[in-house]
Amino acid sequence: MPKWGIHREVAQILNIKLPEYLMREIDSEIDGFKKRFTHDFWRSDVETFNMYLNEVRMRYGEEAVKYALLHVFLDLATDFIVREESKDEGDPTIRGLKNFVKIVKEVAKRYPLPPSMNIEINSCDEYINEALERVSLMLSDKHIKHIWEELSNEIKRSCRFLNSLLYELDEVKKRITNAMWFSLLSKCVSKT
């Protein structure tokens, strides 16, 4: 999961207008630093998460709900990046395909295609779409769902930025490397 400073940076880019002290408060509640919740309680207790979002809306307003939802989205998106980037790394075909896709994306950044041909490159990576869908499925309140729709539309408009930002996070690179090592060691141990 990204550091809180990254959450705040993305919030600023997405025009979520919330004082920094409230962002820190929400980050600490979601990550379980307040005794009230366990770490990432939203992963296992969707009902409590929905109650929490309504409480945040009542206490701090819709911008605070957007920030809480953004926090969860960014955590999920980085989880999905790590999962995708670390699976099947031992397979040379898949590794070669991933390298090819990265090269195509780099070339596309340097030499943009006409807008009509640029559809795939500008679209969200699969992990962002998966994280957007996962957050959607967790929400039960109509008002909160409406807030999420607004935020997810902003996220979709910022996909190119989010793709590059999340892939470059040191925490993500470290988790991918650790997952790849774990996978490699597991294969070695299972062969002995």
Full domain range(s) for residue 55: 4-91+126-191
- Count of alpha carbons within 13 angstroms of residue 52, beta-carbon side: 25
Q: Over the stretch 3-49, which tens digit does the pLDDT of each residue have?
A: 888 888 888 888 899 999 999 999 998 887 776 777 778 878 888 88
Domain count for the chain, please give it: 1
Q: How far is CA 29 from CA 36, 141, 149, in A?
A: 8, 20, 23
In a domain, 103, yes or no: no
In a domain, 64, yes or no: yes
In a domain, 104, yes or no: no
In a domain, 114, yes or no: no
In a domain, 26, yes or no: yes
- Other Cβ atoms less than 10 A from the Cβ of 67: the count is 26
In a domain, 121, yes or no: no
Predicted TM-score (pTM) above 0.85: no
Contact call for residues 14 and 183 (beta carbons, < 8 A): no
In a domain, 33, yes or no: yes
**Can you tell me the mean pLDDT for 99-128?**
51
Q: Over the stretch 53-76, which tens digit does the pLDDT of each residue have?
A: 999 999 999 999 999 999 999 888
- Other Cβ atoms less than 10 A from the Cβ of 31: the count is 17
In a domain, 108, yes or no: no
Q: Euclidean distance between the first and final Cα of the chain, in Å?
A: 34
